Amino acid sequence: MNLKNNIISLVDDRQPIVIHHTNELTLGGTEKLIQLNMPYYITDGTFDHYLAYKSNGDKTREPLFEKIMGKEKMLPYNSEDHFTDIVRKLKPYIVHRYSAGIPEFPFVPKVKEHTKHFVSTSTFGDQDETIGISRVIYISSHIRNLRGKQYEPGHTLCRIPVAKPASNTDLRDDLVIPINAFVFGRIGRDSNNLYNPINVDALKIVQEKHKDVFFVAVAPSEKMIEHIKEIGINNFRIVEKTTDEKILSSFYNTIDVLAHSRMDGECNPLNIREAFSHGKPVISHYGNFFNGHIEAISDCGFIVVAGDVNGYAKHMENFITNKYDYEKLSKNCLKNWRENSTVELSSSDHLKVYLDIRNSEVKHKNDKVSLWPK
């Protein structure tokens, strides 16, 4: 993909710049998508990559990005004018915004004056119609189809990245969980607003018969912890919020099944995809708004309708009592991950978007092209 091996003749040989923009650097899947793909973008070498984010927001992943990119490629900004000034000085070829897709900064005329292209990863499928966007990226066919964009030009489906497991050990000794105990787990944002109690309520039913079943939650919300105490869940273990990939991988190695729940649903769930990379099946439910996780789970687990606590509990019990072919489901999970969500696949998808935009500027083979805004 390198420019040196391309037929395009450039006016100068400077690397064209891509500024990746996200409001915050939280533990969420959107930021992890950028984090996992970034080393591949840098190694490819076609574009020079920077990361912009609000200096007063959540910066949990900031040290990870600094390690990958170097501090000089990090662009924390304290106001819209500050960011606009950064863009004016760098003159990026592309500003790539990762957001819900609603009309918002930095897709505004004063930024567009200093860049050639806007690219939008619309994580929830909305499309900003207020200013010209060269390409809209959707992270699942569910979201793309939900917005009716499946056949429109300029709309692209890109896979999300899931890294290879970072650990071959588990946390059972650390969490004081017997080696032969059956363990359900949950991982996701620690948001009270997103908490859905269906997995915990189902577990309460299951523990009436199977008291030795464990439940491990990574970064549980305060609402979840309160609910667990209120209804009296046994064998509850907490793994604190972390970006340590070895700990997160060890969490997946600890559990037998991911007991997924989220109030609004998922667009393309990173936690479910990560469970697959560790060979772990999933139980989930239909969401109130988004159901990209239904598409993702496929033949790697089981889904219940929204609010069906008894149905959820039945799937839990069937796993515990070996009524499901666990080995087959585990193989399905690994196959799903390899075919749909490796980092290599995702980074290739995204790099192709940038290259397609660049190549579209060439009308004839011998054209001389400038990739720099005036």
Could you read off the pLDDT of 159-189 as tens digits, one per residue?
Answer: 999 999 999 999 999 999 999 999 999 998 8
CATH number reported for the structural domain that contains residue 244 in this entry: 3.40.50.2000
pLDDT for 11: 45
| One domain for residues 36 and 101 | yes
Q: Which residues is 155 bridged to in the sheet?
A: 136
| One domain for residues 347 and 283 | no
Structural domain count, the chain: 2
Could you read off the pLDDT of 313-348 as tens digits, one per residue?
Answer: 999 999 999 999 999 999 999 999 999 999 999 999
| One domain for residues 18 and 144 | yes
| One domain for residues 141 and 184 | no
166 belongs to a structural domain: no
pLDDT for 5: 41
pLDDT for 4: 40
Residue 245: its H or E element: helix 245-254
Could you read off the pLDDT of 213-252 as tens digits, one per residue?
Answer: 999 999 999 999 999 999 999 999 999 999 899 999 999 9
> Is residue 130's pLDDT more than 80?
no
45 belongs to a structural domain: yes
Sign of CA dihedral 214, 208, 258, 268: negative
| One domain for residues 290 and 212 | yes
The answer to pTM > 0.95 is no
| One domain for residues 176 and 144 | no
> Is residue 191's pLDDT more than 60?
yes
| One domain for residues 279 and 333 | yes
| One domain for residues 269 and 354 | no
167 belongs to a structural domain: no
CATH number reported for the structural domain that contains residue 34 in this entry: 3.40.50.11380
| One domain for residues 152 and 206 | no
304 in Cβ contact with 312 (< 8 Å): yes
Question: 287: domain range?
Answer: 172-340
216 in Cβ contact with 175 (< 8 Å): yes
Closest C-alpha to 96, from 345, 370, 352, 350: 350
84 belongs to a structural domain: yes
pLDDT for 100: 62
213 in Cβ contact with 233 (< 8 Å): no
| One domain for residues 318 and 331 | yes
| One domain for residues 26 and 109 | yes
| One domain for residues 233 and 285 | yes
